[in-house]
Structures are given as structure tokens and as C-alpha cells.
Amino acid sequence: MTKGAWVTLATNDEYAIGALVLGESLKKVQTQFDLHILITEQVSAPIKHQLGRVFNEVSVVNVLDSNDTVNLALIERPDLGITFTKLHCWRLTQYEKAVFLDADTLVLQNADELFEKPEFSAASDIGWPDCFNSGVFVFKPSQQTYQSLLKFALSNGSFDGGDQGQAFF
């Protein structure tokens, strides 16, 4: 088992371009941890090849969509339904611990100390301070947690159609 990894997700080529910048920023700050990206089939072969040059691991996952068109319309973000796809990160059980970063984040200085934080660690969301922002979080991969999150999401849904586990954690 590998000690840890920075994990991100790209569901299309546009997000993959951001992920390439993120990966390069992590390398520039000399992280001591692996870089792992989850991608969907919507990422083209040429971009997937580029991702393989930056990330230690590239895993293809299926899209998980909240299909909550009503709440997504209320927040005017129909694209956020597929953010449930990031739940796949809990399946990366080859790592003891991981830090998830949205593909549109940029690391400006080494942040390896995040791996010392407990699961589940995340910052408050600026728009909803009683919720966490799922753009950066520390987690311990676990098939059991993944299954529990899926079950919870299917039975409880999402308060806004796009959040991933607010009430679970």
C-alpha cells in the first residue's frame, strides 16, 4: 500500500486541462506524494495521454450523476450533477490516505502537511458556512466508505443536487 496521493477528477477535456495545470503545480512544489487522476470516458485519447505524462496514475471511472435537475436548476448549475463521480476516490484503496483537489485548484506552495490531518477534513464553504467545500478534502480510501456513501446518496439525495456527502460526514 502506498502512503498517499493527491487525487483529482476530470469528466471532460476542459477539466482535464485544468488538472494538467494542477498536476504540474504539485510537481513544482515538490510534493512527496503520488498524483492520481480519475477520468471518465468523455476525456479524449490525446488528453488522456498528456495526463499520463503528469500523473502517476490515471484511472477511468464511470459517471455518477445525482440526476437532481430541480435543485441543480435552482442554483443554476446543471453541470454539478456529475460531481458525484468524485465519490470514486474512496475506491483508491492502494493509498493509506489521500487529498482530493478539484481540477480547477492550483497549489502555490507545498501542502503535504494536509496528509497529517484526520479523515474527514475539509474547509467550510464560503457560500454555506455550515457546509464543507468538497473542492479540497482529506480522506482515507475505503471500499466500505464508498459503498456507504453511495447508499446514502441514493436514499437521501443531495441538498443542492451536486454536493457529495454533506450530511454523511
CATH number of the domain that residue 6 is part of: 3.90.550.10
The residue with cell 493509506 is: 96
The per-residue pLDDT for 68 is: 52
Contacts of residue 138, defined as CB under 8 A and 6 or more positions apart, other chains included, come to 97, 98, 99, 100, 114, 115, 117, 118, 119, 120, 121, 122
Does residue 43 sit within a domain? yes
Does residue 167 sit within a domain? no
Assess contact for 167 and 135: CB atoms under 8 A.
no
What pTM was estimated for this model as a whole?
A: 0.83
Does residue 110 sit within a domain? yes
Q: Please give the grid coordinates belonging to residue 95.
A: 493509498
What is the extent of the structural domain holding 108? 2-156
C-alpha–C-alpha distance, residues 102 and 155, integer Å: 25
Count of domains for the chain = 1
The per-residue pLDDT for 9 is: 96
CA atoms within 13 A on the CB side of 168: 21
The per-residue pLDDT for 36 is: 98
- The list of the chain residues with pLDDT below 50 reads 70-78, 81, 159-162, 164-165
The per-residue pLDDT for 130 is: 64
The per-residue pLDDT for 63 is: 80
Assess contact for 119 and 126: CB atoms under 8 A.
no
Q: Please give the grid coordinates belonging to residue 107.
A: 497549489
Does residue 165 sit within a domain? no
Does residue 161 sit within a domain? no
Angle at 145 between CA 169 and CA 32, to 5 degrees: 90
Does residue 168 sit within a domain? no
Does residue 52 sit within a domain? yes
Strands 95-101 and 2-10: parallel
Q: Measure CA of the first residue to CA of the last residue in the chain; give whole Å.
A: 25
Does residue 123 sit within a domain? yes
CA dist 53 → 43, 58, 100, 149 (Å): 15, 10, 19, 31
Helix (H, G, I), strand (E, B) or coil at 14: helix
